[in-house]
């Protein structure tokens, strides 16, 4: 007997609730959303695009890593490293330059991809992403209902995550500690869910608070009741801006420095800055990027990455302009030219570049045509005023296309249609020298919402093949 949409939604909701990742309480927005009986479908061409995108993004991270280190050594423009180092403590800057970490890149790559009328737009990259535990659960539960969920055919997201960790450790059967800080506690339940799946498969994975990690000269370990367990790999699920608030952070970094534990993502602040997109579009670096990435990857990313600028408050000379920033047919020479823009002209986004509690989860994002003229000017003033201690970026806004999604409406106990806009977040896992797709989460919000992120009015669903 084929399950009805109501039964499918009920089954998924019960599974989410049993796993601890879903709450019936709308006052708990981190763990509450709308449930659809359907996955988000991708065409064969779209599936092929996402299956190949990870390799291009891995090249981008590799090139950005080289660009920063070359800049710090005087082999590339010095202003590149200067921008990326703004507001960072000197000890973290020095740590990221150590030769032993020279080639280390993030183990997980997650772009935010907006579905537009003409294709896709990659608005930012996240190397410390949440959501992959929820995505793993949704992929499994929708696959059980017969959908051809993208990524599930290769063992699903937990399998790719395990392969990434083992690749990073350089050996199978290693011991993993997923270290979750207080700042990241909203994601604790999904990390515990993922850990349980891995342990059920025979892979040793423990979700711990930083204070639970034991430090000894020979390495790091955990007290598990039956004795101490040595840690081979730490998955760092905390942001670098929060290091001063994280217990034992100095000991964790010391152990990584001495090679007693492998840590991913690495302690490289310059790989976690949104202003890297501004560097990608900077005309003075155009030839460098094309040579580093290759013609195909450079052309693809130039199409996908929106024009982005660093809100640098230093005055320009009279003959200079801000590259590619054109308003009413005129090149912009002064950020103050943006103050009087009309709502229609303010199709721009302002957000902190990184190293800030406001730089993740859409917290510090302001969309120009979604606020008043007064708030727009105040946001510009704030972004410019906080330079150089806290860089902000300006980015061209790409409007998502409208799509219809079904969801189960609890109050009316019926299916409803919602006109929505969608963000796709594929999870790529770096295994050896490849970035392999583990799965894709679709976040669909009501069409009148300018910001697309998890919320109680959103539908979360995995992507599947048509």
The whole-number pLDDT of residue 194 equals: 97
- Mean pLDDT in residue range 408-418: 93
Q: How many whole angstroms from its chain centre is CA 246?
A: 21
Residue 88 has pLDDT above 60, yes or no: yes
**Closest Cα to residue 270, out of 466, 454, 104, 465?**
104
- Mean pLDDT in residue range 434-461: 96
- Mean pLDDT in residue range 424-451: 97
The whole-number pLDDT of residue 324 equals: 95
pLDDT in tens, 244-257: 999 999 999 999 99
The whole-number pLDDT of residue 131 equals: 94
The C-alpha atoms of residue 368 and residue 349 are separated, in whole angstroms, by: 6
| Share above pLDDT 70 across residues of the chain, in percent, rounded to a whole number | 100
Residue 1 has pLDDT above 70, yes or no: no
Q: What is the pTM of this model?
A: 0.96
pLDDT in tens, 125-182: 999 999 999 999 999 999 998 999 999 988 889 999 999 999 999 999 899 999 999 9
pLDDT in tens, 331-369: 999 999 999 999 999 999 999 999 998 887 678 899 999
Residue 115 has pLDDT above 90, yes or no: yes
The C-alpha atoms of residue 31 and residue 377 are separated, in whole angstroms, by: 34
**Closest Cα to residue 272, out of 300, 226, 297, 238?**
238
| Share above pLDDT 90 across residues of the chain, in percent, rounded to a whole number | 91
The whole-number pLDDT of residue 8 equals: 93
Residue 453 has pLDDT above 50, yes or no: yes
pLDDT in tens, 15-50: 999 999 999 888 898 899 999 999 999 999 999 999
* Assigned token pair, 288: 């460098």
Give CA angle at 27 (11, 406), nearest 5°: 40
Residue 106 has pLDDT above 60, yes or no: yes
Q: Alpha carbon of 61 to those of 64, 72, 96: distances in Å?
A: 5, 17, 14
204-208 and 175-180: which strand pairing? Answer: parallel
DSSP letters for 108-159: EEEEEEEEETTEEEEEEEESS---HHHHHHHHHHHHHTT--BTTGGGTHHHH
Own/partner pairs for 333-341, CB < 8 Å, 24+ apart? Answer: 335/311, 335/380, 335/384, 338/380, 338/394, 339/376, 339/377, 339/380, 340/373, 341/368, 341/376
Q: Helix 78-85 vs helix 44-72: angle between axes, to the nearest 10 degrees?
A: 100
Average pLDDT, the chain: 95
Q: Is 391 helix (H, G, I), strand (E, B) or coil?
A: coil
């Amino acid at each position: 007997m084929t399950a009805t949409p109501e039964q499918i939604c009920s089954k998924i909701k019960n599974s989410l609730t049993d796993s601890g990742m879903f709450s019936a309480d709308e006052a708990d927005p981190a763990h509450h959303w709308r449930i659809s009986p359907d996955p988000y479908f991708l065409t064969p061409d779209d599936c092929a695009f996402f299956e190949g995108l990870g390799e291009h993004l891995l090249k981008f991270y590799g090139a950005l890593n080289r660009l920063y280190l070359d800049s710090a050594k005087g082999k590339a423009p010095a202003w590149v490293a200067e921008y990326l180092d703004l507001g960072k403590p000197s000890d973290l800057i020095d740590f990221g330059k150590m030769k032993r970490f020279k080639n280390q890149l993030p183990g997980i790559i997650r772009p935010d991809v907006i579905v537009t009328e003409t294709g896709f737009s990659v608005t930012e990259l996240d190397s410390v992403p949440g959501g992959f535990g929820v995505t793993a659960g949704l992929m499994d539960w929708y696959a059980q209902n017969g959908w051809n969920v993208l990524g599930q055919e290769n063992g699903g997201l937990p399998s790719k995550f395990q392969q990434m960790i083992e690749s990073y450790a350089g050996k199978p059967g290693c011991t993993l500690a997923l270290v979750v800080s207080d700042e990241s506690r909203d994601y604790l339940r999904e990390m515990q869910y993922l850990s349980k799946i891995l342990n059920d498969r025979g892979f040793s994975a423990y979700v711990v608070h930083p204070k639970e990690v034991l430090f000894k000269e020979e390495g790091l370990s955990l007290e598990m009741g039956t004795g101490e367990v040595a840690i081979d790999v730490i998955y760092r699920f905390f942001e670098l801006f929060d290091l001063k608030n994280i217990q034992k952070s100095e000991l964790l970094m010391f152990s990584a420095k001495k090679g007693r534990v492998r840590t991913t993502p690495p302690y490289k602040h310059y790989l976690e800055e949104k202003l890297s997109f501004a560097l990608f579009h900077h005309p003075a670096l155009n030839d460098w990027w094309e040579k580093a990435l290759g013609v195909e990857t450079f052309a693809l990313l130039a199409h996908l990455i929106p024009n982005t600028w660093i809100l640098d408050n230093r005055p320009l000379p009279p003959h200079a302009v801000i590259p590619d920033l054109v308003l009413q047919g005129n090149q912009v020479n002064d950020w103050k030219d943006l103050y009087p823009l009309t709502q229609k002209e303010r199709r721009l986004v302002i957000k902190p570049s990184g190293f800030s509690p406001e730089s993740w989860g859409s917290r510090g994002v302001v969309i120009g045509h979604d606020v008043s003229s007064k708030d727009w000017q105040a946001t510009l003033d704030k972004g410019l005023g906080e330079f150089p201690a806290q860089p902000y970026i300006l980015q061209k806004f790409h409007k998502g296309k409208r799509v219809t999604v079904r969801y189960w409406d609890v109050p009316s106990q019926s299916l409803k249609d919602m006109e929505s806009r969608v963000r796709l977040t594929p999870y790529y896992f770096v295994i050896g020298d490849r970035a392999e797709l583990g799965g894709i989460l679709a976040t669909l919000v009501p069409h009148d919402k300018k910001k697309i992120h998890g919320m109680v009015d959103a539908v979360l669903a995995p992507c599947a093949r048509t």
